[in-house]
Every structure is written in C-alpha cells, then in structure tokens.
Chains A and B, each alone.
Chain A
Amino acid sequence: MAVLPDADRAAVTARSMSDTSASREQWGTTLLKSDRRGLVDAIDQWIEDSLSSFNAALPEPARTELTTKQKYKEFVNVLDRKREVL
C-alpha cells in the first residue's frame, strides 16, 4: 500500500483541525497549519514504513485469514483504547 495522496492528507489535516476547534482543545502553543500537516504526513509515512513489521507481529491465524482492512481496524481499536486510558 502506498502513502495517502496529497488530497487525502490535506483532508485528514482539515478534519483534525476542525475537530480540535470544535472542542477548543489547544494542540501545543506554536503549531501552525503547516505543522499540523507535517504531523499527518509523518504519521502516514511511519505507518507505511511499519506495515511489514506490523503484519509480521500478528499471530496466526489472524495474520493469514484477516483482510488488511480488518487488521487496520483492530489496530485503531487498540490505539483508541490506549488513548482513552492515558
């Protein structure tokens, strides 16, 4: 899988800023729009670079039987919970 297209990265950044604006949650004190976009780009790139090791870490039979989308969904579920309990 390739990194997200530019338009998708822009859309993720826009939605993130919109969501944080709605909750008036301050994200740092010096981050500009370009920094928020850089954050999205870096996360997307890290995910892309880590996909092989992520898949290799999954136990069988999940590694073989689940689709890529299902593996991503489970990753998001675990990450969401870790975020909630922080």
Chain B
Amino acid sequence: MAAGDTLVTFTVQNNFPPGWIYLTFTGGSVEPTADGDGSAVIWGDTSDATSVLEYLVLNSGTWGGGDAAGYMLCSDWNGTDYQAENFTADSGTPADHGTLGGVQVSADATPDKRNADPVLDFDASTNQVGFYPFVMPRHYGGGDIDLNLGVKSSTATTGDMSFATFFRSISDNTAADTHQKNFAAPQANQAIDAATTLGATRYFQIQHTAGAQVDNIAAGESGFLLVMRDAQDSTNDDMAGDAELAFIEMREKP
C-alpha cells in the first residue's frame, strides 16, 4: 500500500445517524464555550430542554455587542422540545445568553434510494450531517488526506452546493466520552456546481492537511468523519432541493 491508495470508503450504509439537532439563535450575548468537562450544554431557559453543542456558526453580529446570530448543531438532545425562548450555556439556572428561533429541527441527513441506489439526502434549508465511524487503516502514513465525494441532485440541474467535512480521532485512553472531544475545524468545498443532468453524480474533493485538520488521527485509531451540507451558506449554496450523497472515498494524498 502506498500514498495515493484508498484508505476507507463510505456509502449510505455506513452512515450512523447521530441524532443531532439544529437550533437557530439571535441576540447572543455570551458565547457558549466548553467548560471543564469539555462540553457546552445548551439549556432552554423555559423548556429545560438540553443538548450538547457540537458546532456553532456565527452568521452576523457579535457576542460583545449582544446581537450574535447564527445556528448550532447539537448532540445528546434530552427529548424535550425547545421553544422560541432564551438559552443558557452550561447552567440550568436561566441566564439569557441568547434567544432561540424556536423548536429544534433534526440535523440528520436522511437515508434514501434513488432507483435502486442508496443515497443520503441533505436538505436544502437546514444544515444536515452524515456521521461515519471508522478505523484508520494501518497503512496510513500520517500524510494529508483527500476526501472524494460523489453527490447527485434530487431535482436541480443548476445552482451550487457547499459541503464541509470534519474529523474527530479517539486515541487510546484519552477521553472517557467522545463528547469531551470536539471535532477538528471543518474543511469545505464551496459553490460546487450541481450536475447538469438530472441523476448524474457530481464528483468533488475536500482536502485535509495532516495534523490538526484530521484531528491528528494515527494509523489504527478510531475516528469519526462528519459530512455537512452548508445549506445556510446562501452565497455558496443556492441549489434548490436535496443533495444526495452517493459515496465518500478517503485517500492519503499521493
């Protein structure tokens, strides 16, 4: 095996829906940050709904200015519906760190079939994720990683999509719970042209350099790959309808 060979391949059958939720917020005045246990729990001040913050995007405003607005992807939702309410990070005592846009929306991409082909559908309006557990093969040499993705469009032959990928590695005896370790910062490919023929597969690549961008994963280690359609990026993602992920190839850069 050598650099340039395929490390791992993923299809929809490898996706393990993480049960994440999507929350919008405005009027943010205190930025949620991981506390001593490595996680930031988002509490609904009225509903007592809780979930663990995995990824936050600031679309406008500033925390210092009290007008931060954006969205959060959260895991470990306790099943209680959020409301259009204030939220507090990392405390069950309401402290109005910002205002949620309303009830949570599922952030899981949806397994589907296109004719007989299995695909994972990513919504056009809500950021959704696919979640792929894997073990890094022993022949991985620690180099840069290229992800090659194949995506179809449900209904569109025009417009652009934007996708991001995240790595999280779990080394031996370093975290009692995977929630205590965040995903590494995502890498993205923005403004990917939709395939011009309905049903065709658009191939594109997302590159991760070795080290921090792949969360310092090593050969033989457990890892998680997260794939997200950035449907909220109105500049780079304007394609109407679902994007259908057909496959992902992970290979070490030749």
Contacts and interface: CB of A to CB of B under 8 A. Distances in A.
Nearest to A20: B155
B90 interface: no
A24 B154 contact: yes
Interface in B133-158: 154-158
Interface of chain B, main secondary structure = loop
A33 B238 contact: yes
Chain A interface size range = 20 to 34
Interface string B104-131: 0000000000100000010111100000
B242 interface: yes
Contacts of B219: none
Nearest to B157: A29
A55 interface: no
A18 interface: yes
A4 to B, nearest CB: 15
Binding site of A, secondary structure by majority: helix, strand, loop or mixed?
helix
Interface string B237-252: 1111110000000000
26 contacts: A7-B101, A10-B125, A14-B125, A17-B125, A17-B240, A17-B242, A18-B123, A18-B124, A20-B155, A21-B242, A24-B114, A25-B155, A26-B155, A27-B155, A27-B240, A29-B157, A29-B158, A30-B158, A32-B239, A33-B125, A33-B159, A33-B234, A33-B237, A33-B238, A33-B240, A34-B234
Interface of B: 101-102, 114, 121, 123-126, 154-159, 198, 234, 237-242
